[in-house]
Chain A
C-alpha cells in the first residue's frame, strides 16, 4: 500500500493548520460523524493544531455505540439457545446489555464466535449443519453490502441454517434526525469517508440545502481531516454551505452502484432504534420478503418475544453514551468516565468500541490536553 506517509506529512499538516487559522474568524462548531475520525483526531493530536475558534464534537458514527440496548439483549437471548451459534464482530462481545453481555453468555456456555467478516459466518453455517448460525448484523452502509452479499450467496447455495439479525443503520436519516432535533447547533459536518464510498455524496444534499450546514466528506489520514476542516471553514466563512468531497481517491458522487444494488436486492428500509436517539424513521435496513427466511427476527420470533417480556431493556445507571453519540455531551462530562467506566470494565458501548468516543478520549488521554 502506498500513500501512507504522504498523508501524514508534518510539514504539510503545519501549513494546512496555518491556513485554517488564517481564515477562521467566526467561532464555529463542527461534528465528526464517524468514530474512525474521532480516533484519528485524538491519535494525531489534531485538535491541538486547530485554532480556538473551532470546536469539534463527536457524532453517532460508531456502529457498536448506537446499537440499542434492547437489540443487544435480543442477541444475548438468542445466544443462550442451545442449537444456536452466534457470530459477531469482536467489539460487540464486551458491550454490557441490560443484564449480561455476549462475553458473559459465552463464559456461561453459549456458543459465540468472533468473526472478521460475514462470509466467515456463512462458512461456519456450512460446516455446522446441525446448528443455526446467526450473524449479528451491525454497522452502516459500510457493512450492509457484504452482509447482503452473504445472504445472496446463502440463497444461491441453499444454506438453510444461516440467519442474520439485522441492526443495520443508514447515515443520512440519522443526520437529518440530529439536525432536526436542534439540540446542538452545528455549522459543519465532517462526512464519513468509508460510508460515502458506498453511498456517494448525493444523499447528503439536504444538509446544506435544508439546514444550511456545511458538509465535507473526509478520508481518515490526518491530512485528509485537516483538509476537510479547511474546506468546511471556507464554506462557513463565505456563507456558502454545500456538499464537498475531500476524499476523491475513495468517493465518487454516485457511490458504488454494485454495492447499492446488492443492498436494495436484499433489504428494505425500516425504522431503527438508535441508542441515545430512539427510533429514527427510515433509518434501518430490514431483510425483505424475498429473503425473509434468512431473517433471525422471523425464524426466532417466539424466543425473542418471550425474552423481551421476561426482561425489559434498561440502560445502565449514570451512563451518558446516549448523550455522547448525539454530541450533546463529551465523554469528559460523564461522571463515570475513567472512574467506574474504563476500557477494562466498560459500562457503556462508547468505552468498548474501538470506534467509540469514550474509548478514544480515554486511550489518547484527552485529560492531558
Chain B
C-alpha cells in the first residue's frame, strides 16, 4: 500500500508531530525554525518589505519545477521587485488527505533547494489536512520579509519619459509548460517552466544602477499586463517592439497552435526593469551575466505620448495597443 497523508495527520496529536518532525523539520532546519515556538523572533534594522502569496497550481508537478519551488520563488521574487533583499519566509501548507507521502517529500525537498538557492530561511510554518475534495492535492501559502537597502526606491509609479524597458529573457515558458501538462490539452514539449528566484539578479541590477526606477515580474497576465500596470501607475506611455521581445520557438509554436499571444502567457522567472536611458546598457550587461538574465533585451521605451497605454510595433510594422489580459487564456475553437 502506498504511504499517504491521512486526515489523522492533521489531528494536532502524535501523527501531526510526526509529520512535521519527519517530513519538514529535517530538511528545512535552521536556528530560528528549530526553536519551534509559536512565533519566530528575529532582529532587523532598516526598511522592511513584507509580502504574501498563495499557490494552487494544477498540476503540482510540471516540467522545470513543482508547487514547492514555485511557492518559494514567487514570494522571493515579490520581495525582490521592490529592491528588498529577502530574509525569511513562512510556509503554510494545506494538504488534501490521500496525497502520496512521496509527493510531499519531493515537494519539501524542492522548497529546500529553492530556499537554499535564494539564500533565505523558512522560519515559521503550519500544516493542515483537509478532507478529500476540499483542496486539490496541496495548497501552499508563503509570506516573506526582506530588507530594503538604503537609497533604493523602486516602484511601478517611478517610470519617466525617455526611460528604457528591459526584459530579462524569453516570455511564456512557464504558462506553456503548465498548459502542456493540463488534462485534456496534453502535448509533448521539451519546454520547461522558467520558475526561478530572481533576488540575485535584482541585487546585480540594483548594484549596477541604484537609481533603477521600476522592477516587476510578469507572472499571471504576462508581459502585457505588467507593462500596462507600469503605464497606469506612472501615468506614462510605453512603446515596445514585438521583434525585440525574446520568445522561444517552442513557445511561439504552441501559441500559434492554441491561438494564444505569448505576451499574455505567465512567467515565473522573468522580470521587467525600467531604468534611465544612460543606465540601460550597463544594466543589460549586468543582467546578461546572471544565468537568469542571459537572454535579456531592451524591448522599448517610456514616452510622454498615449499616457496610460502600451503600444506595440508589430512584426509587420504597424502599431497597436496592447491591453491587459482580460478573462482567461483559452485555446481557440476553430
Q: Which of chain A's residues have a CB closer than 8 A to the CB of B322?
A: 364-365
Query: With A116-B184, A344-B326 in contact, is A36–B317 under 8 Å at CB?
Result: no
Query: With A342-B326, A344-B327 in contact, is A10–B253 under 8 Å at CB?
Result: no
Tell me whether A36 and B316 are in contact (CB under 8 A): no
> Out of B183, B261, B323, B327, which one reaches A365, CB within 8 Å?
B323
Tell me whether A36 and B334 are in contact (CB under 8 A): yes
> Out of B319, B328, B333, which one reaches A63, CB within 8 Å?
B333
Q: Which of chain B's residues have a CB closer than 8 A to the CB of A64?
A: 333
Task: Tell me, rounded to whole Å, the shortest Cβ–Cβ distance linking B219 to chain A.
Answer: 19
**A215 interface residue per 8 A CB criterion:** no
Q: Which of B159-202 contact A (CB under 8 A)?
A: 183-185
Tell me whether B321 and A368 are in contact (CB under 8 A): yes
State in angstroms the CA–CA spacing of A222 and B322 once bound together: 18
State in angstroms the CA–CA spacing of A43 and B312 once bound together: 10
Tell me whether B334 and A143 are in contact (CB under 8 A): yes
**A138 interface residue per 8 A CB criterion:** yes
**A152 interface residue per 8 A CB criterion:** no
Segment of A88-96, A282-290, A292-300, A325-333 engaged in the interface with chain B: A88-96
Give chain B's interface secondary structure class. loop
**A8 interface residue per 8 A CB criterion:** yes
**B277 interface residue per 8 A CB criterion:** no
**A107 interface residue per 8 A CB criterion:** no
State in angstroms the CA–CA spacing of A360 and B252 once bound together: 20
Task: Tell me, rounded to whole Å, the shortest Cβ–Cβ distance linking A218 to chain B.
Answer: 14
Q: A119 — nearest CB in chain B belongs to which residue?
A: B184
Tell me whether A365 and B320 are in contact (CB under 8 A): yes
**A362 interface residue per 8 A CB criterion:** yes
Total chain A interface residues with beta-carbon distance under 8 A:
48
Tell me whether A195 and B316 are in contact (CB under 8 A): no
Tell me whether B259 and A354 are in contact (CB under 8 A): yes
Tell me whether B334 and A142 are in contact (CB under 8 A): yes
Query: With A43-B261, A43-B320, A64-B333 in contact, is A90–B253 under 8 Å at CB?
Result: no
> Out of A44, A89, A343, A367, which one reaches B315, CB within 8 Å?
A44
Tell me whether B316 and A222 are in contact (CB under 8 A): yes
Q: Which of chain B's residues have a CB closer than 8 A to the CB of A222?
A: 315-316
Tell me whether B316 and A364 are in contact (CB under 8 A): no
Tell me whether A45 and B318 are in contact (CB under 8 A): yes
Tell me whether A362 and B323 are in contact (CB under 8 A): yes
Task: Tell me, rounded to whole Å, the shortest Cβ–Cβ distance linking B316 to chain A.
Answer: 5
**A120 interface residue per 8 A CB criterion:** yes
Q: Which of chain A's residues have a CB closer than 8 A to the CB of B327?
A: 94, 343-344, 352
Tell me whether A143 and B316 are in contact (CB under 8 A): no
> Out of B256, B261, B317, B320, which one reaches A14, CB within 8 Å?
B317
Total chain B interface residues with beta-carbon distance under 8 A:
32
Q: Which of chain B's residues have a CB closer than 8 A to the CB of A115?
A: 184
**B1 interface residue per 8 A CB criterion:** no
Q: Which of chain A's residues have a CB closer than 8 A to the CB of B326?
A: 342-344, 363
Q: B243 — nearest CB in chain A belongs to which residue?
A: A10
Q: Which of chain A's residues have a CB closer than 8 A to the CB of B256?
A: 1, 4
> Out of A1, A48, A90, A363, which one reaches B328, CB within 8 Å?
A90
Task: Tell me, rounded to whole Å, the shortest Cβ–Cβ distance linking A336 to chain B.
Answer: 16
State in angstroms the CA–CA spacing of A4 and B317 once bound together: 17
Query: With A1-B253, A354-B259, A354-B332 in contact, is A8–B320 under 8 Å at CB?
Result: no
Q: Which of chain B's residues have a CB closer than 8 A to the CB of A45?
A: 314, 316-320
Query: With A1-B253, A120-B184, A368-B321 in contact, is A10–B334 under 8 Å at CB?
Result: no
Tell me whether B317 and A143 are in contact (CB under 8 A): no
Contact bitstring A117-134, B, C-beta under 8 A = 1, else 0: 100100000000000000
Q: B256 — nearest CB in chain A belongs to which residue?
A: A4
**B44 interface residue per 8 A CB criterion:** no
Tell me whether B184 and A1 are in contact (CB under 8 A): no
Tell me whether A10 and B316 are in contact (CB under 8 A): yes
Task: Tell me, rounded to whole Å, the shortest Cβ–Cβ distance linking A113 to chain B.
Answer: 10
Q: Which of chain A's residues have a CB closer than 8 A to the CB of B253?
A: 1, 4
Tell me whether A49 and B320 are in contact (CB under 8 A): no
Q: Which of chain B's residues have a CB closer than 8 A to the CB of A59?
A: none
**B291 interface residue per 8 A CB criterion:** no
Task: Tell me, rounded to whole Å, the shortest Cβ–Cβ distance linking B165 to chain A.
Answer: 19
Query: With A4-B252, A344-B327, A354-B259 in contact, is A44–B333 under 8 Å at CB?
Result: no
> Out of B243, B257, B316, which one reaches A1, CB within 8 Å?
B257
**A32 interface residue per 8 A CB criterion:** no
Tell me whether A13 and B317 are in contact (CB under 8 A): yes
**A224 interface residue per 8 A CB criterion:** no
6 pairs, CB–CB < 8 Å, chain A vs chain B: A43-B261, A48-B319, A89-B333, A120-B184, A354-B259, A365-B309
Known contacts A120-B183, A139-B333, A354-B332; can you find 20 more A-B pairs with CB under 8 A? A4-B256, A13-B316, A14-B316, A14-B317, A42-B320, A43-B320, A44-B314, A44-B318, A45-B318, A63-B334, A90-B330, A116-B185, A142-B334, A342-B326, A343-B327, A354-B330, A355-B333, A355-B334, A364-B323, A367-B321
